[in-house]
């Protein structure tokens, strides 16, 4: 279980590849099997990488298990607020989330706005010599989401962004509140975020009849009910948490989308063919992607599935046992944290052949599709399946659609071969119009193509819109 108090926290939170099972899990799965115990953040915990155990835990939400997070996360996001995400309050939160991220609003309102945000961000990136895609991914969604939640303008969004960026860097740090630690900086940033949102909410509560057409209107309405399900403190924590989740959980997925396309030119070719066909069939060439068109992009949908399958964007799904739990011969004591790890399922070679290979065509095999889907849970399962699942898939689909229809991607798509790699891992070098970064060919400057990827960072370079 590791060292006293700290347990195996530092081994758990150290940096790992976003495209493979973290070393922490690999080592312990080989040593102890798919279900093992440890100690994290000063608390006893159980990790499960077993499909049946995972499904049992997610299915028994509210009976044997309930939502539960490490102490660092609870302290940063407000322990009482997070713990209250159940019962009548949970129903209100889900209704709140579905108002913005649900299918009806996604189809009619959010989809074209998301496409506009993607276009605007890529157009801005195209004017820069390089962009850190992983760090810059929130650019795509931040201004739109703060407008949807709080009606913030660009200036207010930028200030909020600085604090949430700082918050994200210490989210899973060890909870030691001392100056200089990541946790200390995160707590300070969290206080600033909460103050910004609280000030906005307080101002709104003074004029409840004035509507702004954003999500905060629903909060104000709920707080003015005779028997409100939430209070102001909870409302501030909830908006802060959902704003963070709606933007930053997708940042790694967006970066992995770029890498996946860069590494698989044959996939780009198939995507271009499918998405260009949509444009050719439109009466209005300037119209944006509709929900019906989105659903008709069958291969693009499989690419999106594959991106979410290979992405180690989230550490896991956190639960706490309400009582001693018996499952598949294991006993999980009451009060322990349980972390369901979907990545181990997604990279299980017995289910997904050659699991580390990016192969969207695997989802086209109808004889295996049901088995694949049974072991595919990027958005959780059970009572708490992510209400933003369709929203998340739509963001990736729109990003792919705009990239392959409006930007020149990879001149080597039809047979171009990579040049010799640069020896300097941090320098972008030019050779015969070609750029290489971290040992991989990334740019054909002569035809304005781009590619992005380093082992630690991703870059966008010389992207030119087809206008």
Count CB neighbours of 340 within 10 A: 26
Enumerate the H helices of 170-213 as residue ranges.
182-206
CA dihedral 322, 327, 331, 332 (to 10 degrees): -40
Nearest residue to 356 (alpha-carbon basis) of 366, 364, 346, 365: 346
d(CA 144, CA 316): 27
Q: How far apart are CA 17 and CA 7, in angstroms?
A: 22
In 3-state terms, what secondary structure has residue 74?
helix
At 383 the pLDDT is 67
Task: Please check whether residue 88 is in contact with residue 229, taking contact to mean a CB–CB distance below 8 angstroms.
Answer: yes
Strand order, beta sheet including 440-444: 429-431, 434-437, 440-444
pLDDT of residue 13: 57
Cβ 309 vs Cβ 346: under 8 Å:
yes
Burial class of residue 74, CB neighbours in 10 A (0-12, 13-18, 19+): middle
The residues, ordered by sequence, that sit 6+ positions from 458 with a Cβ below 8 Å of its Cβ are: 132, 133, 134, 255, 258, 259, 452
| Polymer length in residues for the chain | 467
Return binding residues for heme: 386
Helix axes 87-101, 215-223, angle to 10 degrees: 150
CB atoms within 10 A of CB 209: 6
Query: How far is residue 372's CA from residue 51's CA, in Å, rounded to a whole number?
Result: 12
Question: What is the H or E stretch that residue 233 is in?
Answer: helix 232-248
Task: Name residues whose C-beta falls within 8 Å of residue 377's C-beta, 6 or more positions apart in sequence.
Answer: 54, 58, 342, 345
Q: Which of 199, 166, 165, 203 is nearest to 182 (CA)?
A: 166
pLDDT confidence of residue 216: 92
The per-residue pLDDT for 364 is 92
| pLDDT at position 411 | 40
Task: Please give the annotated binding residues, written as ranges.
Answer: 386
Per-residue pLDDT 10s for the chain (467 aa) are: 544 445 566 566 555 555 666 677 777 878 888 888 887 767 788 888 887 888 888 888 778 887 777 665 666 565 555 554 556 677 788 888 888 888 999 998 999 999 999 999 998 888 888 788 878 888 899 999 999 999 998 888 888 999 988 888 776 666 677 888 888 898 899 899 999 999 999 999 999 889 998 999 999 999 998 888 888 988 998 898 888 888 888 888 998 898 899 889 899 999 999 999 999 988 887 789 999 999 999 999 999 999 999 986 666 788 888 999 888 888 888 988 888 888 778 888 889 999 989 999 999 999 999 999 988 888 877 666 788 899 999 999 999 999 998 876 544 333 434 333 333 332 322 222 222 222 232 333 333 333 333 322 333 333 333 33
Q: Return the H-helix or E-strand segment holding 161.
A: helix 154-169
């Amino acid at each position: 279980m590791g060292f006293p108090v700290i347990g195996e926290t530092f081994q758990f939170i150290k940096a790992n590849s976003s495209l493979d099972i973290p070393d922490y899990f690999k080592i312990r799965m080989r040593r102890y099997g798919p279900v093992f115990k440890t100690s994290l953040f000063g608390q006893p915990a159980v990790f499960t990488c077993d499909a049946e155990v995972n499904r049992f835990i997610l299915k028994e939400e509210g009976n044997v298990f309930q939502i539960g997070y490490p102490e660092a996360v609870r302290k940063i996001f407000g322990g009482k607020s997070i713990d209250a995400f159940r019962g009548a309050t949970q129903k209100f939160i889900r209704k709140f989330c579905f108002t913005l991220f649900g299918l009806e609003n996604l189809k009619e309102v959010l989809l074209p706005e998301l496409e506009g945000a993607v276009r605007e961000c890529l157009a801005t990136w195209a004017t820069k010599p390089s962009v850190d895609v992983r760090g810059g991914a929130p650019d795509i969604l931040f201004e739109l989401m703060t407008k949807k939640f709080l009606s913030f303008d660009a200036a207010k969004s930028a200030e909020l962004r600085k604090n949430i960026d700082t918050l994200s860097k210490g989210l899973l740090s060890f909870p030691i509140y001392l100056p200089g630690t990541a946790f200390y900086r995160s707590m300070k940033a969290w206080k600033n975020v909460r103050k910004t949102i609280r000030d906005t909410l307080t101002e709104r509560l003074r004029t409840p009849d004035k509507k702004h057409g954003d999500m905060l209107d629903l909060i104000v309405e709920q707080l003015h009910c005779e028997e409100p399900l939430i209070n102001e403190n909870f409302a501030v924590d909830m908006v802060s948490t959902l704003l963070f989740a709606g933007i930053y959980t997708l940042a790694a997925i967006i970066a992995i989308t770029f890498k996946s396309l860069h590494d698989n030119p044959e996939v780009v070719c198939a995507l271009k063919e499918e998405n260009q066909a949509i444009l050719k069939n439109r009466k209005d060439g300037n119209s944006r992607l509709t929900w019906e068109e989105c659903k008709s992009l069958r291969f693009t949908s499989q690419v999106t599935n594959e991106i979410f399958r290979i992405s180690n964007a989230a550490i896991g799904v956190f639960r706490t046992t309400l009582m001693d739990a018996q499952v598949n011969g294991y006993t999980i004591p009451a009060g322990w944290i349980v972390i369901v790890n979907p990545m181990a399922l997604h990279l299980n070679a017995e289910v997904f052949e050659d699991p580390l290979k990016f192969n969207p065509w695997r989802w086209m095999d109808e004889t295996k599709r049901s088995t694949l889907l049974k072991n595919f849970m990027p958005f959780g399962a059970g009572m708490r399946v992510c209400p933003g699942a369709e929203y998340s898939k739509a963001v990736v689909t729109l990003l792919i659609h705009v990239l392959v229809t409006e930007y020149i991607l990879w001149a080597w798509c039809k047979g171009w071969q990579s040049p010799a790699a640069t020896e300097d891992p941090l320098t972008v070098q030019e050779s015969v119009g070609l750029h290489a970064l971290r040992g991989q060919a990334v740019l054909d400057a002569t035809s304005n193509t781009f590619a992005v990827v380093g082992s630690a960072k991703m870059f966008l370079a010389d992207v030119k819109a087809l206008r």
